[in-house]
Amino acid sequence: MPSEAAENVQDFEEQWARIRNRLRAELGDAAYRSWLKPLIFRGVKDDTAMIGAPTRFLRDWVISRYAERIRELWAGENSRVASVDFEVHSIGAPERATPSKTTGAERKEAPSGHQLTLRALEDVDAELCSPLNTRFTFANFVVGKPNEFAYAAARRVAEVDKAPFNPLYLYGGVGLGKTHLMHAMAWHIRSRDPGRRVLYLSAERFMYHFVRAVRYNDTMTFKEQFRSADMLLIDDVQFICGKDSTQEEFFHTFNALVDHNRQVVISGDRSPSDLDEMEERLRSRLGWGLVADIHATTYELRLGILQAKSEQMGMPHMPRDVLEFLAHKITSNVRELEMALNRVAAHATLMGRSITLEVTQEVLRDLLRSNDRRVTIEEIQRRVAEHYNIKLAEMSSERRARAVARPRQVAMFLSKQLTARSLPEIGRKFGGRDHTTVMHAVRKIEQLRQSDAAIAEDVELLRRMLES
Ligand code: ADP
Ligand code: MG
């Protein structure tokens, strides 16, 4: 027969469970999950019920909003309870029961309140955050010249407790490993120090929460949720460019965290100064810490990544010539490289064929064609004419007015850069001009790109569009 004390505890547990159900009905599911589910009953001291909260933030929040209601409900359940006290019990390792040799009977017991709490808090954050990809770890990240600086910065941020540079701003083109590095930081900290609250989310998800908070008139919760983070990682910040109120809120969140020495990590597809439509003060603030860019891949890095990936996929014996072929041909980004490798592997497995260069070329024909895409002079002329709003015929005309001569020179320059045509060949396509005219045009634009930002931008824009 259970002792009186034990029975008492059970009574209190049951009362607490009923109180929680009441609160759930009163407050709704979302608030319940965020604030009350993580609480656990810790015991009774004299006439005071003790409730544990996993973080100071959560405790303070609950005290300020729900303590009085909880006390009332408890007094209604049990007249002996006069007050309710809230305490923080850390969710770090020390409190966790050491997993000694357990008997079968013990193992059947419900998880400890402690574990339940940890899980409840994880639920809250899981709703807030974007999911982390289990493959995106430091161990799976292949380091080479183009990304070694960004990698070193990410590691440093993940390994030290105090923010070494704030913020860390990572940028680079699509598929070069920004998200991978951010997930790796989050994983690393979560495994090393589970008590630290690390929030990773895309800028779009941040915006989504913010817009919802505004709609439901609950920006307080929104603010508190983010400002209590130990580390905040926001991916693809370019998505909030031009979204003024989100930007504004992001700016405040950002400042609040940095002012409290909490680490902030941001990624974007361009450098802070190139984030047009981003408010100036935010743009400059993003560049205050450490800015690390990830450059386009090199052949060596691509080969290294292919080797690592084929080992991870359980195919350590991919023929060398196949890997070299892929590293040579698929230069766009790492994502495409992975796709290609996966496709070849899947095909070989399904068809029971061994992987050879011929098989690879056959399977990837369409992918290779798009990577191989050759730009033609005609296409360049068309795009450039469009861009400057002049007639296509002006590309071959005799007119020398600046308004048409300059675009024509840009088109010649791009033809030299993006095609394998010789100068005389290019000249012929531009109304039968002499090769020295083309050479002059190429030099002129090269020069102007240094001195004239507008020209530099035009050329870059056109080049990217033509290559995409
Ligand atoms: P981004 O966020 O910059 O667009 P991702 O981080 O999503 O790019 O990377 C695209 C894919 O390429 C992912 O599957 C990622 O694991 C892989 N990847 C990128 N860089 C590397 C690297 N250095 N080593 C291993 N995998 C990489
Ligand atoms: Mg990404």
- 295 close to ligand 1 (CB < 6 Angstrom): no
- 180 close to ligand 1 (CB < 6 Angstrom): yes
Instruction: Report if residue 64 sits inside a domain.
Output: yes
Instruction: Report if residue 129 sits inside a domain.
Output: no
Q: Nearest bound ligand to CA 295?
A: 1
Domain CATH number, residue 164: 3.40.50.300
- 305 close to ligand 1 (CB < 6 Angstrom): yes
- 310 close to ligand 1 (CB < 6 Angstrom): no
- Residue 290 pairs in a beta bridge with 168
Instruction: Report if residue 120 sits inside a domain.
Output: no
Alpha-carbon distances, residue 194 vs 100, 197, 230, 357 (angstroms): 21, 8, 11, 46
Instruction: Report if residue 74 sits inside a domain.
Output: yes
Q: Check residue 242 and give its pLDDT.
A: 87
Residues 226, 197 share a domain: yes
Q: Pocket of ligand 1, candidates 180, 239, 332, 339: which has the most ligand atoms within 8 Å of its Cβ, to mutate? A: 180
DSSP collapsed to 3 states, 237-249: HHHHCCCHHHHHH
Residue 303 has pLDDT above 50, yes or no: yes
375 CB-near residues (< 8 Å, 6+ apart): 418, 419, 466, 467
Q: Check residue 121 and give its pLDDT.
A: 56
Per residue in 49-100, pLDDT tens? 999 887 777 787 788 788 889 999 999 999 888 889 988 765 433 333 333 3
Residue at which a domain ends, from 112, 133, 163: 112
Distance 171 CA to ligand 2 centre (A): 10
Distance 177 CA to ligand 2 centre (A): 7
Instruction: Report if residue 197 sits inside a domain.
Output: yes
Residues 459, 355 share a domain: no
Q: Pocket of ligand 1, candidates 137, 148, 334, 342: which has the most ligand atoms within 8 Å of its Cβ, to mutate? A: 334
Residues 310, 274 share a domain: no
Residues 92, 218 share a domain: no
Residues 261, 172 share a domain: yes
Whether the CA torsion 460, 461, 466, 468 is positive or negative: it is: positive
Residues 248, 269 share a domain: yes
Strands, E assignment, 36-128: 40-45, 48-53, 83-88
Up-side HSE of residue 406: CA atoms within 13 Å toward CB?
15
Residues 177, 94 share a domain: no
Instruction: Tell me the pLDDT band of 370, cut-offs 50, 70 and 90.
Output: low
User: Maximum CA pair distance of the chain?
Assistant: 107
CA proximity to 305, closest of 276, 281, 326: 326
Instruction: Tell me the pLDDT band of 122, cut-offs 50, 70 and 90.
Output: low
Instruction: Report if residue 425 sits inside a domain.
Output: yes
Average pLDDT of the residues in 292-303: 94
Residues 200, 74 share a domain: no
Residues 403, 272 share a domain: no
Instruction: Report if residue 128 sits inside a domain.
Output: no
Q: Which domain holds residue 321?
A: 299-372
Q: Check residue 7 and give its pLDDT.
A: 54
**CB of 301 closer than 8 Å to CB of 178:** no
* 239 token code pair: 């998505």
Q: How far apart are CA 93 and CA 113, in angstroms?
A: 14
Residues 238, 187 share a domain: yes
- 269 close to ligand 1 (CB < 6 Angstrom): no
Residue at which a domain ends, from 231, 259, 294: 294
Instruction: Report if residue 404 sits inside a domain.
Output: yes
Q: Is the pTM of this model over 0.85?
A: no
Average pLDDT of the residues in 285-292: 93
- 324 close to ligand 1 (CB < 6 Angstrom): no
Could you give the percent of the chain with pLDDT greater than 90? Answer: 48
Per residue in 310-365, pLDDT tens? 998 888 788 998 999 899 888 888 999 999 999 999 988 888 888 998 889 888 88
- 160 close to ligand 1 (CB < 6 Angstrom): no
Average pLDDT of the residues in 134-163: 95
255 CB-near residues (< 8 Å, 6+ apart): 285
Distance 200 CA to ligand 1 centre (A): 16
Residue 163 has pLDDT above 80, yes or no: yes
The segment with the largest mean pLDDT, out of 102-111, 146-155, 344-353, 355-364, is 146-155
Residue at which a domain ends, from 66, 84, 112: 112
Counted domains in the chain:
4
Domain CATH number, residue 30: 3.30.300.180
Residue 467 has pLDDT above 80, yes or no: no
Least confident of 34-38, 81-85, 277-281, 292-296: 34-38
| Eight-class DSSP state of 165 | S
Q: Check residue 92 and give its pLDDT.
A: 37
Domain CATH number, residue 364: 1.10.8.60
Residues 313, 212 share a domain: no
How close are the terminal C-alpha atoms of the chain, in Å?
A: 77
Per residue in 407-436, pLDDT tens? 999 999 999 887 778 899 999 999 999 999
Distance 183 CA to ligand 2 centre (A): 10
Distance 178 CA to ligand 1 centre (A): 7
Average pLDDT, the chain: 85
Residues 224, 173 share a domain: yes
Average pLDDT of the residues in 239-265: 92
